[in-house]
Structure 1
Amino acid sequence: MWSTVTLLVTVLVILLVRMCRKPSGFPPVPVLGSIPFMLPDATKAFQNWQKKFGNIVGMKMFNTWCIILYDTSIIKEALGSHAFSDRSNFPLFLIRNEMITGGSEEPLGILSTNGDTWKTQRRFTLRTLKDFGFGKQSLEPIIREELEELMADLTLQEGQKVQVKSLFDRSIINVLWATVTGKRFSLADTRLVKLSNKVSSMMQNFKPFHPAFRWRWVRKFFPNLKIFKITEGYIVDILGFIEEELESFQEKLNSGCEVSRNSFVGAYLQEMKAAIEEKESDEEGEGCVNHSLLHIHHLKAIVVELFIGGSDTTSSTLGWAIYLLASNPEIQQRVQEELDRCTLHDGHHIRGAESGRHLSPRCSSPDQPDHYPTRSHHTQENPDLWQFPDKFYPQHFLTPEGTLRKHEYFLPFGTGKRVCLGESLARLQLFLFFTTLVHRFSWRLTDDPVVFKTKGITNAPPDCSVFATKRNLPDQETLEA
């Protein structure tokens, strides 16, 4: 008997060791995987792992095998290869897919699909958004309209406390809504407030590493767990806004009317209609779209992804920028002095503003991995890569001559085949919002406490308040003219 037990234990140990041999790592414990080795401080644990095992580390999050990559060159090589181009069905998207299809977990949209489905959805989305002017001056009027209303609100609130955390939420959502549907809300519209609150709340409160999401059988047998009901509630509310607009578009199509292609929803529905009527699909090739894979379910999923991926990320970065400038008045003054000397057409000369805008996502890099393949925190706050990794130091992005310097290890939008498709829009919004608001207003922290909370999917700025004071600018062509 004891010989049998000894044999079984030996085989089990050998299997566990072999499972973790490549890449380097340590045997996970049953059920929990590598979680016990991450406690009590996951950030320090990840740093220690790199020292012990090198730049490629294997670990297990409950029942899911993961690889942590620490070196930028390795990250770029890995994410640029076909082997790392696929994605698993993220827990949030599993629930979203069920809500859209009525029960199926089949991957939808862009972020959780692979193969031909992923290529089709991504190519169509990229092509359509480029037609709308993503990253070009043609989108500037839409962003300017949001800026003007936001600045009007800030002017009315002068002398009052402004909450940094939610300052940009509605404006950024509105830019996306205008791109997706061709419409916009007033910033005071209760529908916009509700949509903005739902998206922001979901991004900050969703727990992707919650044990209940690690095993599908948990949701199958315990569907009424609080964590599931809360997540379903967020998705139902967001889908409600989307489906209401889709019904309006589809009613026009069903009545024989043409739907304007000047919105993402309109362009997608028109493409679907043409594919159904003509029963044809383009040949596969770079830039071509397989129309047979266009479906209303994918459309809903993509719109959800655009809001999830393009709203809270941008508004949080801007919130961090305002907080960091308000906390560092001497840097804020230098940026404003440079902006005072520039006009909008001198954007390529705005060195301090560009470096400050680049720095905020680096300073606010999450303490937990953004997604399984990469470890952004290590590259964003690595003392071997940054002179002062824990400080707001715009000189990180300036050469000794004062020109803008790009860092190959600064990857706020990812890299490789899955690089963020909204990068150009995000950069344009960050530039216009940051430079205009820092030029037009001075920002000062109030005496309220600054509270840093546990992160969700994104790393939200701290709970704090600021005073926004309108600056007395000379009568000249200014940046926002």
Structure 2
Amino acid sequence: MAFLHVISLLTVKSVIVGLIALFIATWFYRRPRNLPPGPTGWPLFGYLPNLISAGDEYKNLTRLTKTYGPVFSMNLGGTLVVVVNSFASIKEALNHPNTAARPPTSFFRKMTEDPEALGVVNSTGDSWSQQRKFCLSVLRGLGVWRSSFEDAIATEAGCLINGIKEHEGNPFNPALLLSNAVSNVICSVTLGKRFDYSDPKFQQLLKLISRTLELNKGGQVYIVLPIMDYLSFMSDFKEMKSNVHLILEFLRESVENHRSHLDADNPKDFIDVFLREIHVNDTKNIKSYITIDNMLLTSLDLFVAGTETTSTILRWALLYMMAYHEVQTKIQQEIDEIVGRNRLPRLADKPQLPYTEATILEVQRLASIVAVNLPHMFSQDTSLLGYDIPKGTMLIANLWAVSRDPSIWSDPERFNPERFLDKAGSLKPREEHLPFSTGRRVCLGEQLAKMELFIFFSHLMHQFSFKKPDGSQPLSFEAINGVTLAPIPFEVCAIPRE
């Protein structure tokens, strides 16, 4: 009997080993030919466990270029993924017409009553093109990107300055104040109002946004993988889902308030225009992607992106100013010479403040807060970069790798605003600088973000000198890895300038 038991165990093990071997052989056999090279990983899960366990996906993907080159492929939980890591490959890939699609994701399809509603960021095809065109038209009509919108940003910058002055030069964490100020700009566009910095509901909302982006690691790569549907029981996933529902509930309340006070002939903000368009389409029985649920998710896109990215860059900027006093002093000297002490900087001053602008660009490069671009998907079988990529393949652009590429940036780990200046001291933009990505799905709010960064940063430099608090921990430039790369929480002393 013991002998038969051993034979039985050996048979079971043999069957398991045989099945694994068969799966591996079948996977390799079915793997399309002429794909980019890449790591094999594990049966069933591919390279996914390696990527998750290593953490800091952008660094892991960059390391793989040493073995496989700037373009490689991998299996992530049964999903074929192509990763591009160089400026040339990213530019070619993201500008190709077959890569503008997004991978299908069940996460956002379960957030509203309409499973087809994905908002503008996560939608694909006709839904995306119609919503993007409509959003650009609405924002343009509301005056965003015009110089006249500068006053709205400057007003919020003034509130931020007053909030900082209340600390009277004592140490404080600037994160929440910066989030308040930046978020109020997009709130004025989207919701038609700003919130007081002491509003507890608004404070909670900002914390929900920050926490959700922190949980959603890897630039949203994991959340769009089909295998995640089977892992939705995980605590991080459940918390993300709960947080998004709470944010959407906040936006729903605002939509209902707008609906009850709507003046269709005089829309005041983004939601008003959206509601008017929906009413017109319903009246004329026009089928459109401009729906209530898409409006909610698009408002979520604008609200989250418009809050987190700009405020995070400003936090990095303050961190670098504390670490590089000589840069801070040079910025202040430039601003004082051009603007003076009797008024605040304006957008019209920007061409005459090249060092200030170069510093913003260098903070964006070194912080590289969107380290891994939101995933794209090949909508057709495509020949690209010398390879044949099948339809449905996910595309990941590692923007962090470009920001650290020594063939583009000399001594890339060094903070050096002069790399964005020519020999005459004039601003020298670099096409390899990709803080807003590139291609057809370049960031919708790029121009607004550029306006905000310049106004907020130049106003802060005009009004304060930022210093590391005495006796505080050494400054750290390590990042918290989420959808964005955020600095580890820190405190700063803001000393008012005469």
Bin for the TM-score computed over the shorter chain: 0.7 to 0.9
In structure 1, the residue matched to 2:485 is 459
Q: Is residue 28 from structure 1 mapped to residue 51 from structure 2 by the alignment?
A: no
Sequence identity percentage: 27
Does the 8 A contact of 2:321 with 2:327 survive in 1?
yes
User: What residue number does 1:218 align with?
Assistant: 230
Are 1:236 and 2:251 matched, yes or no? no
Out of 448, 451, 463, the position equivalent to 2:472 is 448
Shift of 1:141: 1.7
Are 1:319 and 2:329 matched, yes or no?
A: no
Letter in 1 for 2:292: I
Per the TM alignment, residue 190 of structure 1 is displaced from its structure 2 partner at its CA by: 1.8
Q: Which residue of 2 aligns with 1:68?
A: 83
Give yes or no for the alignment of 1:364 onto 2:373.
Answer: no
Shift of 1:357: 0.6
- Is the CA contact (8 Å cut-off) linking 1:322 and 1:443 kept in structure 2? yes
Paired amino acid for 2:398 = R
2:279 to 255, 273, 287: 273
Per-residue Cα deviation, 1:39-90 (whole angstroms, up to 9, x for no partner):
6475554334222222211012223222111221221121111111101135
Deviation, structure 1 residue 224: 5.2
- CA deviation after TM superposition for structure 1 residue 148, in Å: 1.1
In structure 1, what residue type is equivalent to 2:353?
I
Q: Which residue of 2 aligns with 1:285?
A: none
Q: Give the root-mean-square deviation of aligned CA atoms.
A: 2.7
1:191 aligns with 2:187: no
Cα separation, partners in 2 of 1:268 and 1:211, compared to 1, 3 Å: closer
Q: Structure 1 residues 389 and 143, CA, compared in 2 at 3 Å: closer, same or farther?
A: same
TM-score (norm 1): 0.86
Structure-2 residue corresponding to 1:287: none
| Residue 136 (structure 1) aligned with residue 151 (structure 2) | no
Q: Which has the higher contact order (CA 8 A, sep 6+)?
A: 2
| Partner residue of 2:328 out of 317, 332, 335 | 332
Counterpart selection for 2:442 from 411, 419, 427: 419
Q: What is aligned with 2:418?
A: 395
Answer yes or no: is the 8 Å Cα contact 1:163–1:466 preserved in 2.
yes
Return the alpha-carbon distance in structure 1 between the equivalents of residues 285 and 161 of structure 2: 49
Q: Cα gap change, 1:8/1:442 in structure 2, threshold over 3 Å: closer, same or farther?
A: closer
Residues 84, 310 of structure 1: alpha-carbon distance in 2 compared, 3 angstrom cutoff = same
Distance 1:69 1:125 in 2: 29
TM-score by length of 2: 0.84
**AA partner of residue 202 (structure 1):** T
Distance in 1 (CA, whole Å) between partners of 2:167 and 2:20 is 71
**2:393 is matched with which residue?**
none
Q: How many angstroms apart in 2 are the aligned matches of 1:226 and 1:46?
A: 26
Q: Distance in 1 between matches of 2:306 and 2:374?
A: 16
Question: Aligned partners of 1:203 and 1:460: how far apart in 2?
Answer: 10
Aligned positions, number:
450
Partner of 1:284: none
The answer for unaligned runs of 5 or more in structure 2 is 1-10, 340-345, 376-395
User: Offset at 1:368?
Assistant: 5.6
CA apart distance, 1:214: 4.8
Instruction: Determine the C-alpha separation between the residues in 1 that align with 2:70 and 2:92.
Output: 13
Return the match for 2:118 from 103, 108, 129: 108
2:107 to 91, 95, 111: 95
Report if aligned partners of 2:169, 2:496 keep a CA contact under 8 Å in 1.
Answer: no
User: How far apart are residue 397 of structure 1 and its match?
Assistant: 0.6
Deviation at 1:107, TM superposition (A): 4.4
- Counterpart Cα distance in 1 of 2:138 and 2:43: 47
SS where residue 413 of structure 2 aligns?
A: coil
- Listed as ranges, the gaps of 5+ residues in structure 1 are 281-290, 473-481
Q: Which sits farther off after the overlay, 36-45 or 268-277?
A: 36-45
Shift of 1:36: 5.2
**2:260 corresponds to 1:251:** yes
Residues 1:116 and 1:431: Cα distance change in structure 2 (over 3 Å): same
Secondary structure in 1 matching 2:112: helix
Q: Is the 8 A contact 1:85 1:418 kept in 2?
A: yes
Residue 248 (structure 1) shift: 1.2
Distance change (3 Å), C-alpha of 1:106 and 1:274: closer
Alpha carbons of structure 1 residues 364 and 245: separation in structure 2 relative to 1, 3 Å: same
Counterpart-to-counterpart distance in 2, 1:109 and 1:270: 17
